[in-house]
Amino acid sequence: MPDLSAKSLFQELELPTPWIPTQLEKELKPIGQWVLGTSNPDTNVYDIKAFVEKVIDPDGEDFLFVGHEGHGTQSYFLHYYLRLGSLRILLQAPYGGVYDDPEECQEQIAKYFDQIERLAAAQIAEPVVIVQSPVIGSRWGTIGEDNEIHWTSDDEALKTVADSYSSGPNSMISV
């Protein structure tokens, strides 16, 4: 597999480089043609449902998977899956499908990356899970003491949570 860094991957994809946590950056290795990860996943990154389970797992470790993967003519997505302490983000954004407008997709992905950076800068105490995906539906939720996620459906889940935590250190989203 060729030497691949996050910067070179996103340059090749003509996208801005997303926030890469310093503590995970050294662990990031190529695991596919256009995919980097801190470990080998049990599945491909297109299978976002499997990663929802990984971020919920109370014994799970921090991880990051970023890349571009898909199938067919229209089912290609940019993936950014992060578990870092209380912050759990699963972003699956359209990019590279035959019918996608590349400029619109790049603009939307840049907005998502900005929202991720704002969340990274926030002080998030309780575990929050954000799923931004047109494939399985976008939603966000907190993990309760019963280890269940209390979901709120939201087409702009990433923006909603980023806006909530960006409004101040004591801001909390309510379920």
Every domain of the chain and the residues it spans: 6-120
Secondary structure (H, E, C), the chain: CCCCCHHHHHHHCCCCCCCCCHHHHCCCEEEECCEEECCCCCCCCCCHHHHHHHHHCCCCCCEEEEEEEEECCCEEEEEEEEEECCEEEEEEEECCCCCCCHHHHHHHHHHHHHHHHHHHHCCCCCCEEEEECCCCCCEEEEECCCCCEEEEECCCHHHHHHHHHHCCCCCCCCC
Whole-number Å distance between alpha carbons of 169 and 175: 18
Structure confidence by residue, pLDDT tens digits, 79-121: 999 999 999 999 999 887 777 788 898 999 999 999 999 999 9
CA distances from 31 to 52, 55, 127, 144 (A): 19, 19, 27, 33
Structure confidence by residue, pLDDT tens digits, 62-74: 999 998 876 766 6
Mean pLDDT of 23-44: 87
Could you tell me the pTM of the whole model?
0.89
**Residue 74: its pLDDT value, please?**
65
